[in-house]
Structure 1
Amino acid sequence: MTVALEIAVTSPAGALVARDAGADRVELCVGLELGGLTPSQALVEATHETGIPAHALVRCRPGGFTYDDDELALMEREVRTVLRSGAAGVVVGALRPDRSLDEDTLRRFVDAARSVSAHAEVTLHRAVDHAADPVATAARLAGLGVTRVLTSGGAANAPAGADTIARMVDAAGPVQVMAGAGIRPDDVAALVATGIAAVHLSAKRPVDATGHGGVPMGSGDDGSAHTVTDAGVVAAARRALDAA
């Protein structure tokens, strides 16, 4: 089985770097430092024009994965919007207060996606790693119309969660399991051995910034550099996958 390489990007420029360095697809979001948030319609359109398949994250706010009715209605609309704007798929997820998978919401997102395109792919994001039992959650996905699940195996990073990821592969059946979080190219071979269908990297590097001159733009603004997609990291991950 060929293991796919997915790169998380926040711009069309990042998508181009990922494409040219050997990625198979990208996950598109904004606010990567917050875990990722829904990209704008224009950002999805511009990234689609690069030619690499882009799966848009649909997450209306940072924080946990239990949402109220207004948030769910907004994300359902965002699912349709990003797909109409050229996304090849969506990346979604929701949990109940008891940290079980919110299957009703996931079905709602899947139905919204397939109402736009019968071929739209749907990925369950790392909400699965906040679930009470990631392996049991993976076992429930086959009947929900989900294409794949992105996971660190419930650990802080995918290499640390490799044993759980292997169990999730066994439990998920036809649903693809994609390892992500804290992956370096040197980790790829060991993760491929778990039976995963894809690896997911942010492959980012900081860009020097002049700072904000002591006038922060928000509580999370420390004046540090923003990040861009590193072609060297993407290419190294591609080589590691090809050699695995």
Structure 2
Amino acid sequence: MAESYAAGGLHLKNGQKMRNAKMLGLVVASALAMMLAVPGAASAAQVEPAPPADVAAQIASDPELRYVTVVEAEALYGFDADAEDVPEPAATEPVVTPLWSWWGCDWRGKADYPHVTKNEASVHGYWVKDGGDCPATGTVTVELQALGCSQFGCTWITQATDVAPGVKPGSGTGRWATPHKACANNNLTGWRGRVDTALTDFYDPFGWDDGPAKDLSCSPA
């Protein structure tokens, strides 16, 4: 009987040893997995690309920035003032209805040609309804921009902003926003306006709408 108890005790001890060995094996395997995973994660972090530089901000903050005409920017810097207005190639895939049309309203922002009045450059911006059932009013934000170039290239630089809240569609006094910027001198400079429209209590899928560019005898102060 004593031998039986001894044998039973030996079996228990052996079973405990096997369980301990399995637990140790799991711990070792987990540790190895962590050691292999950490270098992989570190390697992935090292090759993660840095965010792209804001070229427009570099141009605007460059001490050598010059305000130029559209022709000069195109000839000396290869700038394309109408790049955003170039139509895309005809699509070969089925036409998809634009998201804003699903909401029963088509609209866009418009800016007229910039002009100089009383030694200030300015532009008018407003919104127009192209069709559908649209809200009666919208908030129009207009930016007046001048064309600047530096060693980094050329960009449109916002000089002034004006907001017209709750205005009806169409141009005219009381319906548009008009940002102004004083002229430092009468050097020819390219100017344009751009418009963002947020219709009242309505979904807004649009961004900015660019107006036509024009050279004015006005360099921004």
Give the TM bin, normalised by the shorter chain: under 0.3
Q: Which has the higher contact order (CA 8 A, sep 6+)?
A: 2
Q: TM-score, normalised by structure 1?
A: 0.21
More strand by share: 2
Q: TM-score, normalised by structure 2?
A: 0.22
Give the structure with higher Rg (CA): 2
